Structure 1
Amino acid sequence: MAYEACPHSLGGWAPVQLVGTPGRCAGRVEVFYQGVWGTVCDDLWDLSAANIICRQLECGRAISAPGEAHFGEGSGKILLDNVHCRGHEQHLEQCSHAGWFSHNCGHQEDASVICSGDWPELRLVGGSGRCSGRVEVFHQGAWGTVCDDLWDLNEAEVVCRQLGCGQAVSALGKAHFGPGSGDIFLDNLQCAGVERHLGQCAHSGWSEHNCGHHEDASVICSGDWPELQLVGGSGRCSGRVEVLHQGAWGTVCDDLWDLNEAKVVCRQLGCGQAISSPGGAYFGPGSGDIFLDNLQCSGVERHLGQCAHSGWWEHNCGHHEDASVICSGTRSLSGRHFW
């Protein structure tokens, strides 16, 4: 099928844009023709066509060519259908197509493109380091949060990958690391989990949400865990559990504390097997902050940061409830042996 040439003045080509994402290099394909912006149907849509869009926008190479209104449905005219490109074309309208305004589609079939360039900056706030915390996105000169609707490990995987923080360990909602302030930028994010950047995922649109900051989404990645120490025992492998957070050492409450949590502490410290998980400030009460309460581990985690808890500083304890651990890597305590 021969393509139709664009009747633009001075022989110009129809401009294209990508709409519905945090950046200019991913989104729903829209083409400007005869004074209006319109969409492209996903029939025959593939990476060859997507590559041409990315090349035309100077956005690198095409990573994906999703259909079915992946970045939301457009409105107005559907300008092109059955677009078939060989890959060498410099502009979309050089590809064969059904003719301008000729289609058998609805906007639920709008074509999209994800290119390799241009993604929003991310950070994680309120955790123990740069690889855990509340998800915040930089948009139009300000940092804002992400709502936890539909938030799961797929989205967390993308965040961890984008930040170079290893694998996603947990995808937390309900402002697990504390509520943010300012704008809530994104809601209903849906990632496949293989995307390299959060901007490759579908969402409701910038600032389109039905959330409050009590629903801010968070992530814990494998690349960053709170530093631990055991204090008051006979060596580094027994004592009161203390966690380094925001530059200070604090304790852990003994609510729900048992051998599962102790196993994780011993593993993280390279101290062998967990022998005992005493509570009640067994090695003496700490001072300063009580950072964690209601820790719940399965016992197989590599780091304490992989376990669920009430949130930083969220507790109903006193230091007389500080949690402790005795690992097999320490030999003696008051003349007793633990192996």
Structure 2
Amino acid sequence: MCFFYFHLCGYNVRLVNSTNSCYGRVEVLRAGQWGTVCDDGWDASDAAVVCRQLGCGTVLEVKNAAYFGKGSGPIWMNNINCFGNEATLMSCSYNATPNRCDHEKDAGVICEASSVRLVDGSSSCSGRVQVLHDGIWGTVCYNGWDLLDANVVCSELGCGEAKEVKLAEYFGKRQIWMDNVNCSGNESALSKCEYHELELNDCNHSEDVGVICQSVMRLVEGFDDCSGRVEVLHNGKWGTVCDYKWDGSDGAVVCKEMGCGNIKVLTYGAYFGATSGQIWMGNVNCNGEEAALSTCAIQGWGTHKCFFAEHAGVICGLPVRLVNGNSSCSGRVEVLHDGQWGTVSDDGWNLTDAAVVCRELGCGDVIKAKGGAYFGQGSGPVWMNSVDCVGKESSLIQCNIDHWQHNNLDHLHDAGVICSGEGLPEKEACKKM
């Protein structure tokens, strides 16, 4: 067995087969050819060096057994032994001739990902852009900000391409850290773009920048944007999720990532139609706290136990209840947000908005939309104001609203509704949460 203790300058490192440049299967470039790393002896100290080398912060999870799929070509490294403080993986000791390994044992890593996040948006892929500096999160100034810059943020966070650039306090206020950001669009992280020194910015928070990303997940053939068959984008191709062991924690992550509130119904099989395309994810195992489905444990990209028409799906929605009425289908409208129940203001509240609540609760048609705290004054926050529904939405969260929480409103204007109380029959092959 031969071990090398010196730095081979001909090596480069990358993380592949994921939606983010800061997690994936570890590959190294040697003699002009990319190859994998065997997971024999692969541990947190080794993975930490990869994260540091790639500018991806600290290690979050060590992955083994081809977690990010099996690679191809040579297996360049085995029995890596890092102290954890090395600058590059090639500075660690390792076996360069791993004859007993195959690609079933390819090593992977999930790093801290970046010092960038999107906050106060409707999902993990939209919000005000924040960067971490000296342990404090701050905002980015709008000066020079464009879609190329936004694309880098979306790509860094595993959120696909940028759909919209936002500014002027769209998502709120924080300390400003970056100004005049200038990305080419090909950078792997916002920190690698050109920008003005932090202390030189001359911005105020009316110039805070935000972004809405495309995301790498979608719900198709559903009733609306918050229901349907779950599909994920991988290697430039959309595919489905196997419904084997599909549960509430997995569905909760999907709803959260899509900005659709909470999981209400899990669906299986061809509930939302069948497709013969690629099945990308199988045996998904989320704990429910993840911001994106792509960060949950899976059997491996393209590895699954499903056949045709065994697709995972969801129906999401905002937790809504009617209180202080004569039945479960009449009362003051309350919604659950940030773990706390609050009310809806009657500003703009009409039959169209109320109809969505009736539909969401399975309470049939709307009879009356009530305002002026008709069902008594609530307590806690007034979460929603100026609700504007089209009328076809399956959940109140899909309607346009003024921003969440209104400290200047009182409960004298709490909205209510009276529904007919006759719900619609459910389809089969689904499980209510």
Q: TM-score normalised by the shorter chain: which range applies?
A: 0.5 to 0.7
With over 3 angstroms needed to count, the CA separation of the structure-2 counterparts of 1:307 and 1:203, relative to structure 1, is same
With over 3 angstroms needed to count, the CA separation of the structure-2 counterparts of 1:198 and 1:283, relative to structure 1, is same
Residue 309 of structure 2 aligns to a residue whose secondary structure is: helix
Correspondence for 1:264: 253
Amino acid at match of 2:301: W
2:110 aligned to 208, 217, 220, which one?
Answer: 220
Correspondence for 2:232: 243
1:163 aligned to 48, 51, 54, which one?
Answer: 54
Q: Which has the higher contact order (CA 8 A, sep 6+)?
A: 1
With over 3 angstroms needed to count, the CA separation of the structure-2 counterparts of 1:276 and 1:155, relative to structure 1, is farther
Q: Contact between 2:10 and 2:29, CA under 8 Å: does it hold in 1?
A: no
TM-score, L = length of structure 1: 0.58
Percentage identity across paired residues of the two chains: 44
1:99-248 aligned at under 5 Å gives the runs: 120-204=11-95, 206-208=96-98, 210-223=100-113, 225=158, 227-248=216-237
Per-residue CA distance 1:207-238 (angstroms, 9 max, x = gap): 35532232221223453547111122233222
Residue 260 of structure 2 aligns to a residue whose secondary structure is: coil
Residue 256 of structure 2 aligns to a residue whose secondary structure is: helix
With over 3 angstroms needed to count, the CA separation of the structure-2 counterparts of 1:230 and 1:168, relative to structure 1, is farther
Structure 2 residue ranges without an equivalent (≥5): 114-156, 160-215, 321-355, 362-394, 397-433
Instruction: Give the Cα–Cα distance (whole angstroms) in 1 for the partners of residues 26 and 310 of structure 2.
Output: 32
With over 3 angstroms needed to count, the CA separation of the structure-2 counterparts of 1:135 and 1:249, relative to structure 1, is same
2:324 is aligned with 1:335: no
Per-residue CA distance 1:68-121 (angstroms, 9 max, x = gap): xxxxxxxxxxxxxxxxxxxxxxxxxxxxxxxxxxxxxxxxxxxxxxxxxx5831
Correspondence for 1:310: 299
Amino acid at match of 1:301: E
Correspondence for 1:292: 281
Instruction: Give the Cα–Cα distance (whole angstroms) in 1 for the partners of residues 87 and 104 of structure 2.
Output: 27
* Aligned Cα root-mean-square deviation (Å): 3.0
Equivalent pairs counted in the alignment come to 227
With over 3 angstroms needed to count, the CA separation of the structure-2 counterparts of 1:208 and 1:256, relative to structure 1, is closer
2:267 aligned to 255, 278, 290, which one?
Answer: 278
**Deviation at residue 129 of structure 1 after TM alignment:** 4.7
Larger Rg: 1
Per-residue CA distance 1:42-68 (angstroms, 9 max, x = gap): xxxxxxxxxxxxxxxxxxxxxxxxxxx
With over 3 angstroms needed to count, the CA separation of the structure-2 counterparts of 1:155 and 1:272, relative to structure 1, is farther
Instruction: Give the Cα–Cα distance (whole angstroms) in 1 for the partners of residues 235 and 98 of structure 2.
Output: 32
With over 3 angstroms needed to count, the CA separation of the structure-2 counterparts of 1:137 and 1:21, relative to structure 1, is farther
Amino acid at match of 2:4: G
Q: Contact between 2:284 and 2:296, CA under 8 Å: does it hold in 1?
A: yes
Residue 189 of structure 1 aligns to a residue whose secondary structure is: strand
Q: Contact between 2:7 and 2:91, CA under 8 Å: does it hold in 1?
A: no
Amino acid at match of 1:187: N
